[in-house]
């Protein structure tokens, strides 16, 4: 609700001019039903001045004694006892070099010490306290187990779309980017356990490390890299060690995770991607990789390249996998 400013009337102006010299700001404010600050500012605008009553030596000594002997000075009480206004007391104290402080100074500030070393530890503690409180007191709103009705869901959906439409492009990009990061962190970015997959996805132990490979081709290429490492052809290799993000992309492929990172003998790093067949999504990822991360060297092993490796290595690597058709 907007604050209503009440204008001063002619009668109030006359009251201020008549009683300014005999009444304090607080007294006039009480009579007129206004604040002390409003009375003070209005008197200043009217250029009303009081004839200052000279301070006696006894008043000086009393004021000095009050400020020097007390850590906290109640100016209102001093004003009432001396029969002078609060403004007069503060002005005189300033002229005498006594200062205007009316609150005790804190000698030592308390240093706040964090109870938890990391945010994860704090969140864990908060979660445990919440679970304990719910067990002891029940749900705070008594809605445990309740579900939204279809009507409510429809309303929430409309509101959500309206909020999305109001966001700027940069805000949308940030939300999409954070969601993708969360999916990768939680392990929900890609569904790796698809029961109907026919290309041989599953867990394998290659080079002493157990990893999930999405196809037999990918697993065989890992065995090939391990053979190159053992025979001194490359320095090392890793399976899916690094994700490249395409910042600023609004839709479609937001990131790219190459199959392998290979460190060659001269120390250079090359990323290898095994692609038996190239769909539109894969083409888009590779194009965006070249555009947003041109410093990363990427080698794509297509079906022709894979078959040439297979032709030589199938008989050398004993656990090389083939399908029913010998591929």
What's the fold here for domain 202-313? Trna Endonuclease; Chain: A, domain 1 (3.40.1350)
β-bridge pairing 234-239 and 260-264: antiparallel
> Coil, strand or helix: which one is 228?
helix
Joined together, the tokens standing for residue 231 give 């025979």
Spatial distance between the Cα atoms of 254 and 244, rounded to a whole number of angstroms? 9
**pLDDT, averaged across the chain:** 80
For the chain, the farthest-separated pair of C-alpha atoms sits apart, in whole angstroms, at 115
Q: Mean pLDDT, to the nearest integer, of 38-64?
A: 80
Instruction: Note the pLDDT tens digit of each residue in 249-290.
Output: 777 788 888 999 999 999 999 999 998 778 888 888 889 989
Spatial distance between the Cα atoms of 285 and 245, rounded to a whole number of angstroms? 10
Quick one: CA torsion of 149, 150, 151, 156, rounded to 10 degrees?
90
Q: In whole angstroms, what separates CA 247 from the centre of its chain? A: 18
The separation between the first and the last C-alpha atoms of the chain, rounded to the nearest angstrom, is: 77
The predicted pLDDT at position 181 comes to 67
Spatial distance between the Cα atoms of 214 and 210, rounded to a whole number of angstroms? 13
Closest CA to 277 of 245, 318, 247, 307: 307
Spatial distance between the Cα atoms of 52 and 88, rounded to a whole number of angstroms? 9
Binning pLDDT at 50, 70 and 90, where does residue 2 land?
low
The structural domains of the chain, with segments of one domain joined by +, span 10-45, 57-95, 202-313
Spatial distance between the Cα atoms of 144 and 303, rounded to a whole number of angstroms? 55
> Coil, strand or helix: which one is 187?
coil
> Coil, strand or helix: which one is 3?
coil
The predicted pLDDT at position 242 comes to 87
Instruction: Note the pLDDT tens digit of each residue in 106-149.
Output: 666 677 778 888 888 888 899 899 888 888 877 766 666 677 88
The predicted pLDDT at position 268 comes to 92
């Amino acid at each position: 609700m907007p604050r209503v400013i009440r204008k001063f009337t002619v009668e109030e102006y006359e009251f201020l001019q008549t009683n300014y010299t005999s009444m304090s700001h607080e007294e006039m404010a009480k009579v007129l039903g206004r604040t002390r600050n409003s009375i003070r500012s209005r008197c200043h605008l009217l250029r009303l001045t009081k004839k200052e009553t000279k301070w006696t030596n006894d008043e000086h000594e009393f004021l000095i004694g009050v400020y020097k002997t007390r850590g906290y000075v109640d100016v209102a009480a001093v004003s009432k006892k001396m029969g002078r206004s609060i403004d007069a007391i503060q002005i005189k104290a300033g002229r005498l070099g006594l200062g205007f402080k009316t609150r005790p100074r804190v000698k030592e500030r308390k240093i706040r010490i964090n109870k938890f070393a990391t945010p994860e530890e704090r969140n864990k503690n908060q979660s445990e306290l919440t679970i304990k409180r719910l067990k002891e007191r029940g749900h705070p709103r008594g809605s445990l187990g309740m579900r939204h009705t279809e009507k409510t869901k429809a309303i929430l959906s409309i509101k959500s779309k309206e909020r999305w439409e109001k966001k700027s492009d940069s805000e949308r990009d940030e939300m999409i980017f954070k969601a993708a990061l969360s999916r990768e962190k939680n392990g929900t970015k890609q569904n790796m356990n698809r029961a109907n997959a026919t290309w041989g996805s599953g867990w394998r132990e290659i080079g002493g490390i157990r990893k999930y490979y999405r196809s037999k081709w990918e697993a065989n290429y890992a065995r090939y890299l391990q053979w190159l490492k053992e025979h001194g052809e490359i320095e090392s290799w890793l399976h899916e060690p690094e994700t490249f993000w395409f910042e600023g992309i609004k839709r479609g492929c937001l990131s790219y995770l190459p199959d392998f990172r290979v460190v060659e003998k001269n120390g250079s790093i090359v990323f290898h991607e095994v692609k038996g067949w190239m769909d539109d999504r894969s083409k888009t990822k590779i194009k965006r990789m070249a555009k947003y991360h041109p410093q990363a060297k990427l080698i794509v092993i297509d079906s022709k390249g894979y078959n040439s490796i297979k032709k030589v290595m199938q008989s050398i690597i004993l656990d090389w996998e083939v399908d029913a058709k010998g591929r």
